[in-house]
Every structure is written in C-alpha cells, then in structure tokens.
Amino acid sequence: MERIDYPNKESWKLILERPTESVSDIEGVVDAIFSEVKEGGDEAIKAYTQKFDQVELESILVGQNEIQDALKEVPKQLQDAISLAKNNIEKFHAAQKTERVGMETMPGVKCWQEKRPIQKIGLYIPGGTAPLFSTILMLAVPAQLAGCNEIVLCTPPDKQGKINPAILYSAQLCGVTKIFKVGGIQAIAGMTFGTGSIPKVYKIFGPGNQYVTVAKQLATKFGVAIDMPAGPSELLVVADDSANAAFVASDLLSQAEHGVDSQVILVSTSDRLLTEVSAEIKEQLEALPRKDIAQKSIANSKLILLRNDEQALELIDEYGPEHFIVCMENEEFYTRNVSNAGSVFIGNYTPESAGDYASGTNHTLPTNGYAKQYSGVNLDSFMKSMTFQKISAEGIQQIGGAIELMAEAEGLQAHKNAVTLRLNSLE
C-alpha cells in the first residue's frame, strides 16, 4: 500500500481517486449489448452467455429439479449459518416498517401517506470469482417483507452451466420466484426489456463490476429504477493506537480480496499504527487463497497519516466510503459527526464482514463516493410512498379561495375553474 504522510488538502482529490474506468470507456459496450438483447431477446442472451461465460445453454431458466438437487449439496452447518443470518436480517429490516402517516391539515382537509410494495423487482447476484449468496439474503428478505409480488434473480453460470448450490439454496429460502443463468450486462438488459423467458421488472437491485454498474445506470433511461450505482467494493478504516493492528489489516484485506478494482484506505493519526498495519498486511496476505486478487487491489490502496481527528474526518467525508470502520479512542467524535458513509462499523470487535453476512444490516451500499447522496438498501428501497387526500365541502370552502388565487397567478384558468365550480355549487 502506498503511504502518504500529512498530505495537503489540495492533493486530497487526486489521492482519493477510485481505480475505476470512466463511464465513457464502458458505455459503448453496454449500449451495443442492450440493443441486441432488446431486439434478440433470449437468443441474444444465450449468445452473450456463450461468449462471456463459455457455456452453451438450452434454457436460461433454472428448473425445480436443479433447485432440489442443489439443496442436497449445501452442508447442514452452512444451512444453519444462512438461517442465522436470515433471521437477523429479517429482524432488523422488519423493524424499519412504518405506520400510515395522516392528519387533517385544516378542517375538512384530510391528507395521509401509505406505502405500497414495488410489484416486480430484479436481483443481480455476482457469481464470478466469488458467488455472493449472502447478497440474496440482503435483497430478497426485505423484498419479501415489503410484499413484492415478483422477485426475479439473475446470476452467471459456471462453465458447466450450473449455479452455485448456496445461491440456489438461499434463493429458494428467501422466496425468489424465478432464477436465471444470466450474468453481466446481458442480465441487466434482460430485466430491463424483458425477453421470452426473463420478465421485465420495475426496479433492479444488486452489486456488480463496473460493466454491471454502467448497465444499471443505462437501464434508468428505459424506465427501470435501480437501487444505486453500486460498483467495486471499498473500505476506509480510521484507527489510532487503541486499535489492534492485526484486526485492521484483516479488515483491509477482507475488502481487497473482493476484486482487483476494489480499494481500501487506512487513515490514522498514529505513525506507529501505520507501520504495524503495513507489516501485518504483508504477513496475512501470504496466507490468502485469493492473494493475487488482494495484491492487485492493495496496489490501488493508501495508508494516510493525518495530524488530528478533525482533519481525518474532513478527508473521510470527502471520500464518502461504502464501508467505514472506526477504531479510535475518540470513536464518538466520528460516529456523531460523520456525514458520508454507507455503513459504519465501530470498535475493535466489529469487523466489516459482520455486516457483509450476519449482523442484520444490509451490505448493498453506495460506492464511488455516492454515499454523499444515496442510502444503502433498506426496507423502503422496495416500497413506494403514496399520498392520499379527501376534502369535504367544508374543506374546499376553507382552501378554495387560496387555490383560485394561486392558479390565476400562474395563468392556469382550468385549475381555477375546477375549484370555482365546486364553490359555486355550495352557495
């Protein structure tokens, strides 16, 4: 990891750049695939699956027999772990339910707000170097709680045309209605337009590589909503001498192993801690099965020494990390004042991987600095707020005059007339 001591503020923007390609570098590829899937449907999907996943499929829909076979392959201990995680995710997301909000804004004018589920949602589950079955729990559980009617899942097959058994087990456990062996840009295009097999959905959820991220952004041009621009994973840790250097190094490596375009950053006010963590990373890296991936990610990452908490927090908010770990003696300063972070992990015994799997919070979070504008996925992500109003004769008399004056001032005579007719009928 590159170490930078006391960088001046003018250099922060350059230091904090993500190792991602720009949208313009990827957009042409995404546009071309979208066009072909829109026109060719399932046949285009199968052609791209053969090209990118090196497998020829007769059907992209996962059948019930495949699901039943996969259920037998998931070890009991893993099933129990998935159930524990599911229960915690259910508890935390069920607690996010809100009641109807209603009031009488003035006599005879009743207004209220209710929430309704998004009827058709699509889930994208990465399956390449790491089959992220945990993401199914994070997305399908709140979708079920919200009451979504149709939950469609797309995930890439392996070279034998199969889906990881843990993905199929988790999908079946969480009420996914249809599963398709489709990955990458073509999966997002399929859920955007609909094909002979894949239903068109109203909103697409799930993380992915840079191509999937751009594909999701393009989907919004065709009337499909997305959860957020969730791209390559990232982590920022702020730590001082109260932190355990081995723990910090393990957290940094846990994110670095996601992919070569992941990024991790350690910010500290302690020179000694940076030195110790750097040594720990080298030692722990050697034992990782995904060493090559983590090593490339670490090359894009930074160790940053700053003078005080105030300066450190300012840099953190400028970066807007997806995951933010606080291992500081003065932890309350950071937890109380941080403005831009997807999810925050506090203390030496709160690894980021707890949020990735089983604590109950959602791990589908904004990356690339979008934590400045977006929330992570939550129960409301799968719902819409609808407002209602009912106005009585007394109510229209109370507000009618104001509506008439405002409509006339805007030059909208028909708006005024809609009120005037009603008022005249009450005279």
Q: Give binding residues for Zn(2+) as ranges.
A: 255, 258, 356, 415
Cβ atoms of 248 and 279 within 8 Å: the answer is: no
Euclidean distance between CA atoms 427 and 422, whole angstroms: 9
- CA nearest to 15, candidates 302, 247, 252: 302
What are the C-alpha distances in Å from 131 to residues 66, 126, 157, 207?
Answer: 17, 6, 10, 12
Strand partners, 266: 237, 303
Q: How many residues does the chain have?
A: 427
Q: Which of 276, 322, 352, 363 is catalytic?
A: 322
Q: Is 363 a catalytic residue?
A: no
Annotated binding site for NAD(+): 124, 186, 209
Cβ atoms of 175 and 144 within 8 Å: the answer is: yes
Max Cα distance, the chain (Å): 86
Question: What 8-state DSSP symbol labels residue 41?
Answer: T
Annotated binding site for substrate: 233, 255, 258, 323, 356, 410, 415
Q: 52: helix, coil or strand?
A: helix
Half-sphere exposure of 137 (CA within 13 A, CB side): 29
Euclidean distance between CA atoms 427 and 423, whole angstroms: 7
Q: 388: helix, coil or strand?
A: strand
Structure-token match 């899937």, residue found = 37
Q: Which of 257, 323, 352, 363 is catalytic?
A: 323
Cβ atoms of 193 and 37 within 8 Å: the answer is: yes
- One-letter-per-residue 3-state SS of 157-218: CCCCCCCCHHHHHHHHHCCCCEEEECCHHHHHHHHHHCCCCCCCCCEEECCCCHHHHHHHHH
Q: Is 322 a catalytic residue?
A: yes
- One-letter-per-residue 3-state SS of 326-383: EECCCHHHHHHHCCCCCEEEECCCCCHHHHHHCCCCCCCCCCCCHHHCCCCCCHHHHE
Please name the residues in contact with 405: beta carbons below 8 A apart, sequence gap of 6 or more.
none
Annotated binding site: 124, 186, 209, 233, 255, 258, 323, 356, 410, 415
Cβ atoms of 4 and 303 within 8 Å: the answer is: yes
Q: Which residues participate in catalysis according to the annotation?
A: 322-323
